[in-house]
Amino acid sequence: MRSYGMRDVQRILRLPPATTRNLIKAGFVKPARGARREYRFSFQDLIVLRTARALIEAHIPPQRIRRSLESLRQELPESMPLSGLSISALGDQVVVRDGETHRRVDSGQLLLGLDVSITNGVLRVVEHAREAPAASAAEPPAQATARDWFAEALELEARDPQAALTAWRHAVEADPHNSAAWTNWGRLLHEQGQTQQAADVYRRGLVQAGPDPLLLFNQGVLLEDLGNPAAALTAYRTALEEDPDLADCHYNLARLYESLGKPQHAIRHLGQYRRLISDSR
């Protein structure tokens, strides 16, 4: 049975390692340990992690979340079915659909839906506020919410990056405080080579959503690429003020300090990076 590491969780679910560790500490998921004591997550763990975060963001009480996840886990298959998987909310009930099979989960009033599928070997988890017919980026669903646009953007990124950029713009217009939408919009602009536009998005995102650590981290990466190491240092250091456990930020700072001829600073951050990586295993 395939398992996933901490970096897989960050890449697939866009969950920072610190958030994942907090969910583990809270008892929402209990990953196995690998040969080097690193965390190894099952397919079920990935779905539970994403669902737990969505419920926390919806301000569901922790005891109800734990009950809900225990019930949900019992209904999840051990691996991804070829037909894909859908988790939806219908009133007070959660419905897990595996191909033609529908199962209800008694898990309280859950306000989310997750569509999970594998495309070319890549696991995709897309969160929806409700089930709705597919719509193109040019013709969005009526009264689309920020969550609708967020899910649409994630879905479009692989096949139509330009349409995804439009969807990310709509997502931040619908909810200017959604730091994840600003982060993803800037990241995609950066990946498409639109660096100045990405820099503008990061600046606006920090004004609208506040000093989010991942937003600041991505800004630092971009500023390095733009040849502004001093500003990148400031972005990375501010990100660590918000989340001292952001391991990749310590790594980038160590590398940057080394290039600037400040080995003592580099050694300190490299040590922090190694400690955090070791703790996450």
CATH number at residue 178: 1.25.40.10
Element (H, E) at 269: helix 263-279
The answer to whether the CB of 83 falls within 8 A of the CB of 118 is no
Phi and psi at 108, nearest 5°, equal: 80, -170
The answer to whether the CB of 233 falls within 8 A of the CB of 253 is yes
Residue with tokens 């500490």: 25
How far from 134 is each of 115, 169, 211, 248, 270, CA to CA, in Å? 13, 19, 34, 36, 46
Tell me the residue range of the domain where 177 lies: 142-218
Return the higher-pLDDT residue of 94 and 157. Answer: 157
In the 3-class helix/strand/coil scheme, how is 213-230 assigned residue by residue?
Answer: HHHHHHHHHHHHHCCCHH
pLDDT at 136: 44
Residue 58 covered by a domain = no
* Range of weakest confidence among 56-60, 221-225, 271-275, 276-280: 56-60
Residue 53 covered by a domain = no
Residue 84 covered by a domain = no
Amino acid (1-letter code) at residue 161: P
Residue 19 covered by a domain = no
Question: Could you tell me the pTM of the whole model?
Answer: 0.55
Return the higher-pLDDT residue of 127 and 271. Answer: 271
Q: Which two structure tokens, joined as six digits, stand for 227?
A: 């040849």
Q: CA-to-CA distance for 73 and 75, rounded, in angstroms?
A: 5
pLDDT band at 167, cuts 50/70/90? very high
Q: What is the pLDDT of residues 211-250, one digit of tens each?
A: 998 899 999 999 999 999 999 999 999 999 998 988 889 9
Q: CA-to-CA distance for 109 and 93, rounded, in angstroms?
A: 7
Q: CA-to-CA distance for 276 and 269, rounded, in angstroms?
A: 11
DSSP reduced 3-state for 28: coil
Residue 267 has pLDDT above 80, yes or no: yes
Q: ∠ CA 87-91-96 to the nearest 5 degrees? A: 20
DSSP state of 94: E
Residue 6 covered by a domain = no
Highest mean pLDDT among 11-15, 91-95, 141-145, 256-260: 256-260
pLDDT at 101: 52
Residue 148 covered by a domain = yes
pLDDT at 106: 47
pLDDT band at 115, cuts 50/70/90? low
pLDDT at 114: 55
Residue ranges of alpha helices (H) inside 5-145 are: 6-13, 17-25, 43-57, 62-75
Q: What sign results for the dihedral spanned by CA atoms 195, 18, 58, 46?
A: positive
pLDDT at 2: 67
- Contacts of residue 84, defined as CB under 8 A and 6 or more positions apart, other chains included, come to 99, 115, 116, 117, 118
pLDDT at 240: 94
Return the higher-pLDDT residue of 245 and 207. Answer: 207
Element (H, E) at 95: strand 93-98
Q: CA-to-CA distance for 144 and 129, rounded, in angstroms?
A: 10
Q: What is the pLDDT of residues 30-87, one digit of tens each?
A: 888 887 778 888 877 887 787 777 666 666 666 666 776 776 666 666 655 544 555 5
pLDDT band at 168, cuts 50/70/90? very high
pLDDT at 24: 82
Residue 170 covered by a domain = yes
Return the higher-pLDDT residue of 147 and 85. Answer: 147
Residue 144 has pLDDT above 50, yes or no: yes
Residue 104 has pLDDT above 90, yes or no: no
Q: Number of structural domains, the chain?
A: 1
Return the higher-pLDDT residue of 181 and 71. Answer: 181
Residue 151 covered by a domain = yes
Residue 260: alpha-carbon gap to chain centroid: 32
Q: CA-to-CA distance for 89 and 202, rounded, in angstroms?
A: 34
pLDDT at 134: 43
pLDDT average, residue stretch 265-272: 92
